[in-house]
């Protein structure tokens, strides 16, 4: 069985490849996904099929966020990420917080904020 760090690192590698099928393959059937509210109201998406539909709109051609190291404690994992600076110098950065059970991601909570240049 893959530990939480290995699982999230494999999930991130699939994300960076833009491989939706592989990304979704790491999710449990009863996964919950809570995206941050920087682009609208925050909410919770439940179930693999519903999460797949949301992630399909997020994955695609073009650069994505730079994903950082993964830190774990038991069945919990955290990964930093940051988008390239926008034209005005602001950067969207944040943390993804994962819960893992039985070799699958059961929850992914996204916490992000927009930072301004110094």
Domain residue ranges of the chain, discontinuous segments joined by +: 4-115
Residue 40 has a pLDDT of 57
Write the pLDDT tens digit of every residue in 5-59: 999 999 999 999 999 999 999 999 999 999 876 655 668 999 999 999 999 988 8
Percent of the chain scoring above 90 in pLDDT: 69
Fold of 4-115: Nuclear Transport Factor 2; Chain: A, (3.10.450)
Beta bridge partners of 18: none
CA nearest to 80, candidates 42, 115, 45: 115
Residue 64 has a pLDDT of 80
How high does pLDDT run on average in the chain? 90
Contact 103, 81 (CB under 8 A): no
């Amino acid at each position: 069985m893959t530990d939480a760090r290995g699982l999230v690192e494999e999930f991130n590698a699939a994300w960076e490849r833009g491989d939706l099928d592989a990304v979704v393959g790491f999710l449990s059937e009863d996964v919950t996904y809570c995206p941050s509210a920087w682009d609208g109201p925050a909410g919770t998406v439940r179930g693999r099929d519903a999460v797949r539909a949301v992630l399909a709109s997020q994955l695609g051609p073009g650069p994505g966020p730079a994903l950082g190291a993964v830190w774990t404690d038991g069945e919990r994992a955290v990964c930093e990420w940051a988008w390239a600076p926008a034209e005005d110098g602001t950067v969207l950065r944040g943390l993804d917080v994962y819960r893992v059970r039985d070799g699958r991601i059961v929850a992914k909570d996204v916490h992000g904020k927009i930072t301004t240049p110094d």
